[in-house]
A = this chain, B = another copy of it.
């Protein structure tokens, strides 16, 4: 039988999403398991393989799976390992994820990379970056991730970990403490958590009226809702966030001269408030030769399927 299908797996701290995908990017069957039910990787892989076999049967896809693509935090494309992933319960050391999963799945080849790189491959295969050879994917989620594509290839670098643009420095002096141990990282300002932090800091530092004051615990979604209501403070928070992101995008453009920047992730849903300040700061800070030339586009993948599609796209290259 033709091997006309692939499997995409998105490993997150809490849940792992899996799906069977055809060449057009249709998700034929999918399932979700908990990532945090096991302290060790071996029983987790066993449960994952069981789940995969279940959806393979459901989609009548026995013998048709060409490969498995996995997006996982700290995933190394070259070695197929997950290395020191603090938010995976079983990921503290070096885990031979691709090898273990392939063994459990009767030798189906497994390709693995980090979630942002997987998203970039997904966007190139099925989404907003179709036909593009040079673009930078920025994932604005809980953190800020990135996948860099140059000449049609994801950049993995010397060691397999390239593309950590969320940890480039956005604020050099008195920058916010980042989970990585550094200060001032882009992700401390331009992630969902960063936006909520800006809101808390600004509410504390000023008396400016805002509907956000009535909330107990503020999320980036609350800031979005307030901005929708015309709340001035919320609007200023998006201006600030967009400006910091735009300033750094200018640096990234000067590195690899991409055709486009593709934004993806929960915070990218606030595009109505982010696009203008991002573009303004990006174009003000980039060399004249790229001014108003680099496109800013948003992911076109269906949100619920995006993680699976991104990971699955890796498997076509196997």
A residues whose Cβ falls under 8 Å from a Cβ of B: 83-84, 133-134, 148, 150-151, 153, 155-165, 167-169, 171-172, 180-182, 247, 250-252, 254-259, 285, 287-290, 293
Q: Report Cα–Cα, A285/B181, bound state, in Å.
A: 10
Given known pairs A157-B134, A169-B247, A169-B251, the reply for A162 and B257 (CB within 8 Å) is yes
Q: Provide 7 A-B residue pairs closer than 8 Å at the C-beta atoms, listed in order of the A residue.
A: A148-B255, A150-B157, A155-B257, A158-B257, A161-B290, A163-B256, A182-B287
A255 to chain B: closest residue by CB: B255
Chain B residues whose CB sits within 8 angstroms of the CB of A250 once the complex forms: 168-169
| Contact indicator A167/B252 (Cβ below 8 Å) | no
Q: Report Cα–Cα, A164/B247, bound state, in Å.
A: 15
| Contact indicator A285/B157 (Cβ below 8 Å) | no
Q: Which 10 residue pairs of A and B lie closest in terms of their CB atoms, listed nearest first?
A: A157-B257, A162-B257, A158-B259, A134-B158, A168-B251, A164-B254, A162-B256, A168-B254, A167-B287, A157-B256
Q: Report Cα–Cα, A142/B272, bound state, in Å.
A: 43
Chain B residues whose CB sits within 8 angstroms of the CB of A293 once the complex forms: 159
Chain B residues whose CB sits within 8 angstroms of the CB of A157 once the complex forms: 134, 150, 256-258
| Contact indicator A163/B255 (Cβ below 8 Å) | yes
Given known pairs A169-B285, A247-B172, the reply for A159 and B257 (CB within 8 Å) is yes
* Contact partner, A155, options B160, B252, B256, Cβ 8 Å: B256
Given known pairs A159-B257, A256-B148, the reply for A287 and B153 (CB within 8 Å) is no
